Structure 1
Amino acid sequence: MKKYIIITLMLVSGILFSQNIQPKLEAVNKMVKATYYHDNGGVMQEGFFKNGKLQGEWISYDETGNKTAIANYDQGKKVGKWFHWNRSSLNEVDYSNNRIASVKNWKREAIADDN
Structure 2
Amino acid sequence: MKKLLIIAVMALSFGTYAQVDPTFEKEGDKVKATYFHANGEIAQQGYFLNEKLEGEWKMFNENGDKIAMGNYENGIKTGKWLFWEGDVQKEVNFDNNRIASVNNAKTKSPVVIN
TM-score interval (norm. to shorter): 0.7 to 0.9
- TM, length-normalised to structure 1: 0.79
Q: Counterpart of 2:33 in structure 1: which amino acid?
A: A
For structure 1, list consecutive stretches of 5 or more residues without a partner in the other structure: none
Once residues 91 and 57 of structure 1 are traced to their aligned partners in structure 2, the CA distance between those partners, rounded to angstroms, is: 17
- More helix per residue: 1
Q: Counterpart of 2:109 in structure 1: which amino acid?
A: A
The two structures, once aligned, show a CA RMSD in angstroms of 2.6
Q: Percent identity?
A: 39
Question: Structure 1 residues 20, 98: CA separation in 2 closer, same or farther (over 3 Å shift)?
Answer: same
Alignment of 1:56-75 (within 5 A): 56-75=55-74
Once residues 93 and 10 of structure 2 are traced to their aligned partners in structure 1, the CA distance between those partners, rounded to angstroms, is: 49
Q: CA deviation at 1:45?
A: 0.7
* Partner-residue secondary structure (3-state), 1:71: strand
Q: CA deviation at 1:62?
A: 1.2
* Partner-residue secondary structure (3-state), 2:109: helix
Question: Structure 1 residues 24, 114: CA separation in 2 closer, same or farther (over 3 Å shift)?
Answer: same
2:70 matches 1:92 = no
Q: 1:76 matched to which residue of 2?
A: 75
Question: Structure 1 residues 114, 14: CA separation in 2 closer, same or farther (over 3 Å shift)?
Answer: closer
For structure 2, list consecutive stretches of 5 or more residues without a partner in the other structure: none
Larger Rg: 1
Dislocated runs of 4+, deviation >3 Å: 6-19
Q: CA deviation at 1:107?
A: 3.4
Q: CA deviation at 1:80?
A: 0.9
